[in-house]
């Protein structure tokens, strides 16, 4: 279930009440007259079956509530109510498959910011990846994958392409376009430091490292894994399943590949650097492609449901 808190002027609030009361997927409607300040108006509280949340939110946005008031969305972890069960049964589909598009937009918007924290995570993740490559330690490669924050902007770019949001696309591309080069330079610098201090050998080639050599040797499986991970990652994002998202992070070699570019460049091994760059490009392309296709399918299902909802309202 989804809980909504709506603040709106009195006239608009009564229109919103009409929308909520006519939907069998909405329950626990509470109307508090004139209690809101900044902005002044009424407050409406209600619970909505997750399957119908975006449809109801769409109806409320048509009343211009985001401009004259506000809508807050919260998750209800546990609801003990027969009425709630009836509301979920009245909403077509399953809660686990439902997408709250407003929530997806908000989450991806927050994850596409080129912040100091994002850059630090990119740099530190690639530092871990560089050490993992130098030591031929897969566990450090996995650690670098988990720490890397790159899936946020990749998901944001997918959402931007599907919803035609150039502002999302610019922010995502800026985060990726600056985060990866800065991280690669950091990986290059730290590798040179390890060589200068004797912590790393003077001669090094990832071709002799059997456990991590795959990072700079892309093949058809690189695309297959990244494509599958992109689908799972987008499904985990739209359905708020963080456990699956962690699995995605340790399935793709974006951060390790970027780390390998810096390590190989420090040793002048441009063949390995090129292979790692190809691995990085394949992974990024496959993830975005998978994300876009997944969102298109989910978006189509939502539009079908919305059209059916509009027919029912006009009947």
Structure tokens at 267: 């040793």
Task: Classify 64 in phi/psi space as left (phi over 0), alpha (psi -120 to 50) or beta.
Answer: left
Q: How much is the pTM?
A: 0.84
Lowest-pLDDT range of 86-95, 159-168, 191-200, 270-279: 86-95
pLDDT > 60? residue 244: no
Share of the chain above pLDDT 90, in %: 45
pLDDT > 60? residue 311: yes
- Between CA 202 and CA 112 the distance in angstroms is 39
Confidence (pLDDT) at 251: 64
Stronger pLDDT, 251 or 172, i.e. the higher one = 172
- Between CA 281 and CA 254 the distance in angstroms is 8
Per-residue confidence band for 247, with pLDDT thresholds at 50, 70 and 90: low
pLDDT > 90? residue 241: no
Whether residue 239 contacts residue 295, with contact meaning beta carbons closer than 8 Å, is answered with no
Nearest residue to 233 via CA among 293, 192, 313, 279 = 293
For the chain, the domains span 2-98, 105-301
Nearest residue to 162 via CA among 52, 273, 296 = 296
Share of the chain above pLDDT 70, in %: 93
Looking from the CA of 51 toward its CB, the CA atoms found within 13 Å total 21
Per-residue confidence band for 257, with pLDDT thresholds at 50, 70 and 90: very high
pLDDT > 90? residue 260: yes
Q: Could you read off the pLDDT of 26-84 as tens digits, one per residue?
A: 999 999 999 999 999 999 999 998 888 888 999 999 999 999 999 999 988 888 888 88
Confidence (pLDDT) at 29: 94
Q: Which of 142-146, 216-220, 235-239, 289-293 has the highest mean pLDDT?
A: 289-293
Give me the architecture of the 2-98 domain, per CATH: 2-Layer Sandwich (3.30)
171-176: long-range pairs with CB below 8 Å, 24+:
171/112, 171/113, 171/114, 172/112, 174/114, 175/112, 175/113, 175/114, 175/118, 176/150, 176/284
Task: Classify 165 in phi/psi space as left (phi over 0), alpha (psi -120 to 50) or beta.
Answer: beta
Mean pLDDT of all residues in 108-112:
74
State the chain's mean pLDDT as an integer.
Answer: 87
Per-residue confidence band for 250, with pLDDT thresholds at 50, 70 and 90: low
Name residue 48's beta-bridge partners. 2, 26
Per-residue confidence band for 246, with pLDDT thresholds at 50, 70 and 90: low
| Sole residue written with tokens 């610098």 | 189
- Between CA 294 and CA 3 the distance in angstroms is 26
Q: Could you read off the pLDDT of 149-183 as tens digits, one per residue?
A: 898 899 899 999 998 888 889 999 999 999 999 99
Question: Can you say whether the dihedral through the CA atoms of 90, 96, 100, 101 is positive or negative?
Answer: negative
Nearest residue to 253 via CA among 221, 290, 231 = 221
pLDDT > 80? residue 212: no
Confidence (pLDDT) at 95: 66
Helices (H), the chain: 10-21, 53-62, 65-68, 82-90, 101-111, 116-135, 138-147, 151-163, 166-197, 220-238, 242-249, 254-266, 270-314
């Amino acid at each position: 279930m989804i809980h909504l808190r709506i603040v709106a002027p009195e006239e608009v609030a009564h229109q919103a009440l009409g929308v909520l009361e006519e939907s069998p997927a909405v329950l626990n409607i509470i109307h508090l007259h004139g209690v809101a300040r900044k902005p002044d108006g009424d407050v409406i509280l209600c619970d909505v079956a997750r399957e119908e949340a975006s449809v109801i939110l769409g109806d409320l946005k048509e009343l211009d509530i985001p401009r004259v008031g506000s809508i807050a969305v919260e998750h209800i972890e546990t609801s003990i109510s027969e009425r709630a069960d009836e509301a979920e049964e009245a909403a077509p589909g399953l809660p686990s498959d439902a997408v709250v598009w407003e929530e997806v937009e908000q989450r991806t918007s927050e994850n596409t910011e080129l912040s100091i924290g994002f850059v630090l995570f990119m740099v530190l993740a690639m530092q871990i990846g560089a050490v993992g490559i130098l030591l031929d330690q897969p566990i450090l490669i996995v650690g670098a994958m988990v720490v890397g924050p790159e899936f946020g902007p990749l998901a944001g770019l997918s959402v931007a392409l599907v919803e035609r949001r150039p502002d999302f696309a610019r922010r995502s591309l800026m985060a990726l376009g600056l985060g990866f080069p800065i991280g690669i330079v950091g990986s290059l610098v730290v590798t040179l430091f390890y060589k200068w201090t004797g912590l790393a050998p003077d001669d090094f080639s990832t071709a002799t490292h059997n456990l991590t050599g795959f990072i700079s040797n892309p093949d058809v499986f690189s695309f297959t894994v990244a494509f599958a991970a992109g689908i799972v990652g987008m499904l985990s994002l739209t359905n708020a399943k963080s456990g699956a998202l962690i699995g995605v992070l340790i399935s793709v070699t974006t951060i390790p590949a970027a780390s390998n570019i810096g390590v190989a460049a420090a040793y002048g091994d441009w063949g390995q650097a090129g292979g790692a760059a190809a691995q990085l490009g394949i992974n990024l392309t496959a993830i975005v492609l998978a994300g876009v296709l997944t969102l298109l399918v989910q978006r189509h299902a939502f539009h079908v449901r919305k059209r059916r909802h509009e027919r029912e309202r006009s009947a």
